[in-house]
Amino acid sequence: MTQVIVTAPAKLNLALDVVGLLPNGYHELDMIMQAVALYERVTIKRADQIQLFCQNPIVPLNEKNTAYKAAALFFAHTGIKGGAHITIEKNIPIQAGMAGGSADAAAVLVGLNVLYGAALSLSQLCELGVQIGADVPFSLVGGTARVRGIGEKIEPLPTPNPSAWPIVVAMPGRGVSTPQAFARYDELGGGVHPDCAAMAYALRRGNMAQVCSLMGNSLQATGSAENTEDICAVLRSHGALAAMMTGSGAAVFGIFDGEQEAQQAQNQLAKEYRFAVVTHFINCGTKIAAIKE
């Protein structure tokens, strides 16, 4: 086996609650996370050292990249002497709150595990992933889940019917730094505190009306993302049942109960914003798309 191709999905936060600040400086979170049908595609080949390649010129191709960190951690943990030629096809917007960097890291962990026959379990990969970033374990698992702590506690939940609930996602012109977003939250305080336990219950019952009514993001009110409220207003004007920012921003999404309304919202947003798509819920995480011997 000389090459693997891995796909890793974007995520949205249906709910994000900042519970507190841990002694190590990390924020304790309670979230409902959802994988959606927008994927990073990562090709990994055996090599003597770690090398990164990406078509997006603003992606760092060094030790700061989550994919590089994942590869370095994999080899250090397993003791395998090797490297990787990693090509990242970026399809998830950068600094969007959609876990694009975490998806890249998850893809590298899954790909190297297969490429080098390490036979690490999903649980072991998640233990490595959380050392890279809070969203990496969920990027590995995917689907729908309640995620707590610093991202290491994952409780799978039923995924809503993809065909019944289209989602429109829009990204303004400027992204948001996650560390800066949390620093601003710490400085300003406040924000909503969505009831993630109630949302988990609603998802188990398949009650999407209640899920939408419970959506909220503690970081939105104090966030520095551009045009959040403007995008939310457009989504609601076209019939979105709920609309809000995902993660620390800057992407905004709305959930619809009709494909036509979702498409009309996407058409309007695409005229003004650099990224606007219709997508849907998926019940999977990072997976191998192809293997070459």
Residues 44-94 have pLDDT tens digits of 999 999 999 999 999 999 999 999 999 999 999 999 999 999 999 999 999
Choose, from 11, 69, 90, 104, the residue flagged as catalytic: 11
Quick check: pTM over 0.95? Answer: yes
Choose, from 17, 30, 104, 135, the residue flagged as catalytic: 135
At 148-188, the pLDDT tens digits run: 999 999 999 999 999 999 999 999 989 999 989 999 999 98
- Quick one: pLDDT at residue 78? 98
Domain 167-279: which topology?
Alpha-Beta Plaits (3.30.70)
- Quick one: pLDDT at residue 224? 81
Report the interhelical angle of 66-78 vs 100-115 (nearest 10°): 30
Domain 3-158+282-292: which topology?
Ribosomal Protein S5; domain 2 (3.30.230)
CB 87 within 8 A of CB 5: no
What are the domain boundaries of the chain?
3-158+282-292, 167-279
Q: Across the chain, what does the average pLDDT equal?
A: 96
Which alpha helices (H) appear in the chain, and where do they start and end? 66-78, 100-115, 122-129, 136-141, 178-188, 196-205, 208-214, 228-237, 259-270
Counting Cα atoms < 13 Å in the Cβ hemisphere of 282 gives 19
What does the alpha-carbon distance between residue 48 and residue 188 come to, in Å, rounded to a whole number? Answer: 48
- Quick one: pLDDT at residue 212? 98
Structure tokens at 37: 């049908």
Q: What angle do CA 206, 247, 205 make, to 5 degrees?
A: 10
> What value does the mean pLDDT take over residues 189-202?
92
Residue type at 44 in one-letter notation: I
> What value does the mean pLDDT take over residues 28-50?
98
Peptide bond into 170 cis (omega under 30): no
Same fold, 3-158+282-292 and 167-279: no
Is position 135 annotated as part of the catalytic site? yes
Is position 48 annotated as part of the catalytic site? no
- The pLDDT confidence band at residue 128, using thresholds 50, 70 and 90, is very high
Query: How many Å is the Cα radius of gyration of the chain?
Result: 18
Q: Are strands 3-21 and 27-47 parallel, antiparallel or unpaired?
A: antiparallel
